[in-house]
């Protein structure tokens, strides 16, 4: 039996205690009546037990307690900080520096591009690429007609096939 997208979402919400009480009651009644839904819900509950086990371990062990002087240490470090007014000023200053740095970078890029342009490198690149382009078909046609005319006038000789 298929479990719909909505049912799947509601099973997660039920597991997380996020369903409204009446919706939770209704879904629990369906879980009791529908084996596929019940199996899926038990599987989700099982999955959650993985985290519960790790949470237990974390709370007991690796959630290393902070040192006794932690609060005092933070307060001492906070005392060494500049005043809020100074920090605000510093933040503004930092912001200005960032903007200036970006503007300088943009200006450097523009200047570099200008220098390259003036040196003619870009122009040559374009020329080369233009040179590589084929002529328009109308130009080709004109050129063929011109050559035909030259041959007919005897200005140039027609090559005989060998």
- Residues interacting with another protein, by CB under 8 A? 1-5, 8-9, 12-13, 16-18, 36, 39-40, 42-67, 70-71, 73-75, 77-78, 81, 84, 87
Token pair belonging to 30? 């369906």
Q: Which is nearer to another protein, 47 or 116 (CB)?
A: 47
Shortest Å distance, C-beta 27 to another protein: 15
Q: Which is nearer to another protein, 94 or 143 (CB)?
A: 94
Q: Which is nearer to another protein, 81 or 132 (CB)?
A: 81
Q: Which is nearer to another protein, 1 or 132 (CB)?
A: 1
Shortest Å distance, C-beta 102 to another protein: 21
Shortest Å distance, C-beta 68 to another protein: 11
Buried b (16+ CB within 10 A) or exposed e, 17-29: eebeeeeeeebee
Shortest Å distance, C-beta 126 to another protein: 43
- Helix, coil or strand: residue 74: helix
Token pair belonging to 45? 């509950």
Shortest Å distance, C-beta 23 to another protein: 14
Greatest C-alpha distance within the chain: 109
d(CA 8, CA 40): 8
Buried b (16+ CB within 10 A) or exposed e, 118-157: eeeeeeeeeeeeeeeeeeeeeeeeeeeeeeeeeeeeeeee
Q: Which is nearer to another protein, 21 or 154 (CB)?
A: 21
> Of 56, 30, 54, whose CA–CA distance to 41 is shortest?
30
């Amino acid at each position: 039996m298929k479990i719909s997208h909505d049912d799947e979402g509601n099973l997660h919400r039920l597991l997380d205690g996020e369903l409204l009480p009446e919706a939770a009651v209704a879904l629990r009644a369906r879980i009791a009546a529908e084996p596929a839904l019940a199996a899926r819900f038990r599987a989700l509950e099982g999955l959650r037990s993985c985290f519960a086990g790790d949470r237990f371990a974390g709370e007991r062990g690796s959630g290393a307690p902070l040192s006794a002087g932690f609060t005092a240490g933070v307060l001492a470090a906070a005392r060494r900080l500049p005043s809020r007014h100074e920090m605000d000023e510093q933040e503004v200053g930092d912001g200005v520096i960032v903007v200036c740095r970006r503007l300088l970078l943009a200006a450097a890029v523009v200047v570099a591009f200008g220098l390259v342009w003036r040196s003619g490198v870009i122009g040559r690149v374009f020329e080369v690429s233009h040179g590589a382009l084929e002529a328009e078909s109308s130009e080709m046609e004109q050129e063929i007609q011109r050559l035909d005319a030259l041959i007919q006038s005897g200005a140039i000789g027609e090559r005989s096939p060998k």
